[in-house]
Structure 1
Amino acid sequence: MGARRWTARARGVRAAAAVVAALGLLATGCGGGSGSGDGKVTIRYSWWGAKDRAELIQKTVKLFEKEHPNIKVKTDFSEYTDFWSKFNTQAAGGNPPDVFQNSYAFLRKYGDKNLLLDLNGQAKAGNLSLKGFRNGLEKAGDIDGKLLGVPVGANTFALFYNPDAFKKAGVNVEAGWTWDDFFTAAKKVRRSDDALYGASDNANVMYLYDLYLRQNGKAFFTKDSKLGFTKDDLTEWWGRWQQHAKADELVPGKKSEQAKPKASISADLSASEFTWDNFLVRFAAETKTPLDLGPIPTTDGKRTGQYLSSLMLSGSARTQHPEEVAQFIDFMTHDPEVGKVMGYNRGIPATTSQYDAYRPQGVDAKIAAYEKSVSAKLEPITPHPAGADVAEAAFLRIYTQVALGQTSMGKAVDQFFNEAESALGS
């Protein structure tokens, strides 16, 4: 995910099996940008995100075009789910964008389909610098020796909470607190304010469950591309959240759905919610309620299971302009002015040049302080096999059906395992 999607909890996408199969069969020379009679090269750049991200990225594209007058960049953005649906359709038709926003969760899937440009060659040719990345992030996009993505920002999971509501309920958010402490806090907040639920129901967030599993010596995915937990494990996790939802302590499923595209916390329904720390930028634009970042609850009071994820830029294996794509990625990851424009919209900048150029203020300063506070606890990222995106989408969708009263717990767990194991080829 790191970083990982504008919403970690997006509804997800599933390309039809026939489409996915077709992706690997397309000729590597088709699709991508074009040349023009005036000697300019045109490349296409696509990303997902909200309107505020689009406005910032357009500014950075203008900076690039000014620096590289012979390269024109055509832009396109969508919400997370729509982005991948469009991408799959374009890729199946042999016309994917030359360069696009990506995340760790998708590298192996699309790398296995030969859709991603191995950027190692462009790095060796001097068109892309891999120096100056923070925290070893230059290797974040390395899959089986191929460089399939370059990070533009890094983030980690956090608890977002309304400090006024927690203070009113007499609850302190402190490092080392447990899941029991968290659910007790949600109950106290709900009892102290009839207009506000203690927490959003985040049982359907794959990345949060992954942290819980890691705290208990497991993980959502194993190294051999299988699910790393049992049906009993999932029943316990989903069941615990449902217990508190039925006690009226968590935002009901119907209200969460009605609040979209806002999150429950930015819609002022909830006093706390789990997601990637850089979402504070988005939430601050969606609500006037001040929000803080707090530590992830633990099982043993020590281990949070957290890791750094990142949003990345990947090139298409079908681009006709790999050199220009590499130059674009290099500019977007290293240019100091780009760092000043983007701030922490896509996470804390991945390179020292952009990190040093931007002086965080307001919500960005909170994100920087939070990541500094948890830096010593960070661990290696969980492997994301091909099919991870389908498993994530199923996890989100199927629990949402439980929360809406549309299916039973037993059927939901069985359905998830059937869909996820099929996607993973288990």
Structure 2
Amino acid sequence: MKMKRRICSVCVLAMLTILLTGCQGKKEEPITLRFSWWGGDTRHEATIKAIERYMELNENVVIEYEYMGFDSYYQKLLTQMSGGTQPEIVSVDYKWIGDLSAQGKPFLNINDISDQIDLSAFDRDFIDNYCGQDGYLIGVPCGINGRGALYNTEFFEKYGLTASNDWDWEELLEAGEKVHGQDENAHLLFLTNDVLVYVTRDLIKQKYGENMINDRYELMCTPEDLVECMEMVRRLVETGTMPPFEESVLYETVFADQIPNWLEGSWGMTVLSASNLPSIVSASPFEIDTMRWVVKEGAKDSSITIAPTMMLAIPTACAHPEEAAAFINWFMNDPEAIQITGDTRGIPANSKAREQLEKDGLISPQVSSMLEQALADGGSPENGPTLNAECAAVISDYSHKVGYGEMEPEEAGQKLYEDLVYTLEKLKKGNAEQ
């Protein structure tokens, strides 16, 4: 009898333990997500702070982060995607939409998960026109971007320049020659490699009112047009408007906050997107302001870029798509997240976030002014073929050859035309085979 009572007692205790454990709930297994982006220190610090806050609010979620400079980001992403090692939350630039869409739509269509990510405060036309193709929304835009010029006000005053929102290319060259004539070590303008490519794209679009490459992968310009573009590159260098390529190439993949010549006041102006301003404003030891980028007199299209800042996307191979979507929804829509990240990805595309930051005075006046200047004279949307990375590399190559003095504009323009036609035929054939 004692043995039976002892066995019964053990059974009762075991059952109570099971019941109590069930009442307390099963402990959730931690979910790990990786989040990648590019940018400057201000953006990195704010993003990490937001990630840490999200993990405090969601103890079962661990978010590992990967950040780097823009110049190496896309190539690393393509390598990760080919090997199946891409993060669960990926930052995507609008320039890559055409290329990525042609690869079998490797990211979830955000339109299909709009019940998980609230898009009600985003302008529908904007995200449809700039963040995807034919109903395929590749990501959620963090902000609205506008391309413009940033300048050192002390530099302009020192060399007797007057900033204006209606400079054309000739006025830019005159101002650059004026600066360099007073000080052979001073240069008005320096450009990243991306913007150097835009010199050619801008000149073509301003002349014809159309993107340089149409949707059928055909060039919308002549060899003579490209000779003129290469001639502009040479004039920028010969007038001293731009530094010699031997100097500027050292910094063509970074922004002004990492360039000694800018911080020391010997280079006075650059071109970039508004979302990249906060780090430069913070790092610069002088007052800076913005102006509209130059437009050809009588232009049919300003070619001033209006676009989303980086978009947050979820790869189709993501193991935890619902958790990734929950983080993006919080990052984009939660007032606390908005407060933390501020304008580090430009002025928010989310209207409620924009209103919150404006009310709290958390949007940089330089970011606001550059965006306003771009919106006031914005160009038509760029298409995927014009933004294609292979075509950009060809333009960059010949621009550098002219800039270094290795090739005359006449030869470079003709060869650039031929190489672009070859590249476009290859791209067209590749798309047809997919």
Q: TM-score, normalised by structure 1?
A: 0.82
Counterpart in 2 of 1:237? 229
The match for 1:127 is 116
Corresponding residue SS for 1:271: strand
Aligned residues of 1:43 and 1:72 also touching (Cα < 8 A):
yes
Larger radius of gyration: 2
Counterparts of 1:110-259 in structure 2, within 5 Å, are 110-114=100-104, 115-123=106-114, 126-134=115-123, 136-139=125-128, 140-200=130-190, 205-216=196-207, 217-259=209-251
Q: Which residue number corresponds to residue 7 of structure 1?
A: none
Give the gaps of 5 or more residues in structure 2. Answer: 1-26, 429-434
> How big is each residue's C-alpha offset from its partner over 1:62-109, in whole Å with a ceiling of 9 and x where there is no partner?
232233333321211122232222222221112221111101111221
Aligned: 1:279 with 2:276:
yes
2-structure distance, mates of 1:262, 1:307:
18
Give structure 1 stretches of 5+ with no counterpart. Answer: 1-36
| Larger mean Cα displacement after TM superposition, 75-84 or 410-419 | 410-419
1:146 CA displacement: 1.0
Give the TM-score normalised by the residue count of structure 2: 0.80
8 Å Cα contact 2:304/2:379 also seen in 1: yes
2:290 is the alignment partner of 1:293: yes
Aligned-pair CA distance for 1:164: 2.3
Q: In structure 2, do the counterparts of structure 1 residues 206 and 386 end up closer, same or farther at CA, with 3 Å as the change threshold?
A: closer
Aligned to 1:16: none
Percent of residue pairs identical: 20
CA contact (8 A) 1:201 1:245 kept: no
Cα distance in 2 between the residues matched to 1:239 and 1:103 = 30
Q: Which stretch of structure 1 is more off in the superposition, 360-369 or 275-284?
A: 360-369
- Distance in 1, matches of 2:419 and 2:59, equals 48
Q: Which has the larger displacement, 310-319 or 286-295?
A: 286-295
Measured in 1, the distance between the counterparts of 2:217 and 2:343 equals: 32
CA distance in 1 between counterparts of 2:377 and 2:196 reads 21
**SS in structure 2 at match of 1:44:** strand
- RMSD of aligned Cα (Å): 2.8
In structure 1, how many angstroms separate the alpha carbons of the residues matched to 2:64 and 2:167?
48
Deviation of 1:349 (Å): 1.0
Residue 321 (structure 2) pairs with residue 331 (structure 1): no
Q: Aligned equivalents of 1:340 and 1:416: distance in 2?
A: 47
* Separation of aligned partners in 2, 1:414 and 1:213: 15
Q: Distance in 2 between matches of 1:194 and 1:44?
A: 48
Distance across 1 between alignment mates of 2:234 and 2:175: 16
Equivalences for 1:374-393 in 2 at 5 Å? Answer: 374-385=374-385, 388-393=388-393
Cα-to-partner distance string for 1:294-334 (whole Å, 9 max, x where unaligned) = 11222236753324212211110111222222222222222
The structure whose residues are more often helix, as a share, is 2
How far off is 1:274 after superposition? 1.8
Equivalent AA in structure 2 for residue 210 of structure 1: R
Distance 1:353 1:245 in 2: 45
User: Residues 362 and 42 from structure 1, CA distance in 2 versus in 1: closer, same or farther, beyond 3 angstroms?
Assistant: closer
Aligned to 1:319: 318
Q: Contact 2:145–2:347 (CA<8 Å) still a contact in 1?
A: yes
- Look up the equivalent residue of 2:318 and give its one-letter code: T
Give the Cα separation in 2 of the matches to 1:138 and 1:337: 24
Query: For the residues of structure 2 that align with 1:228 and 1:164, how far apart are their CA atoms?
Result: 41
2:222 partner amino acid: T
User: SS in structure 2 opposite 1:340?
Assistant: helix
Check the 8 A contact 2:121/2:350 in 1, yes or no: yes
- Aligned equivalents of 2:132, 2:376: Cα separation in 1: 23
User: 1-side partners of 2:262 and 2:356: how far apart?
Assistant: 29
> Contact conserved, 1:141 with 1:147, CA < 8 A, in 2?
yes
Match of residue 262 from structure 2: 266
In 1, Cα distance between equivalents of 2:410 and 2:336: 53
- Secondary structure of 1:45's counterpart equals strand
CA displacement, residues 314-369 of structure 1 (integer Å, 9 cap, x when unaligned) = 11011122222222222222222222222222211110222122247698112213
Residues 183, 231 of structure 1: CA spacing in aligned structure 2 closer, same or farther, 3 A cutoff?
Answer: same
- Name 2:304's counterpart in structure 1: 306
Change (3 A) 1:68 1:415: farther
| CA shift in 2, pair 1:138/1:363, >3 Å | closer
User: In terms of mean alpha carbon deviation, does 324-333 or 407-416 score higher?
Assistant: 407-416
Partner of 1:30: none
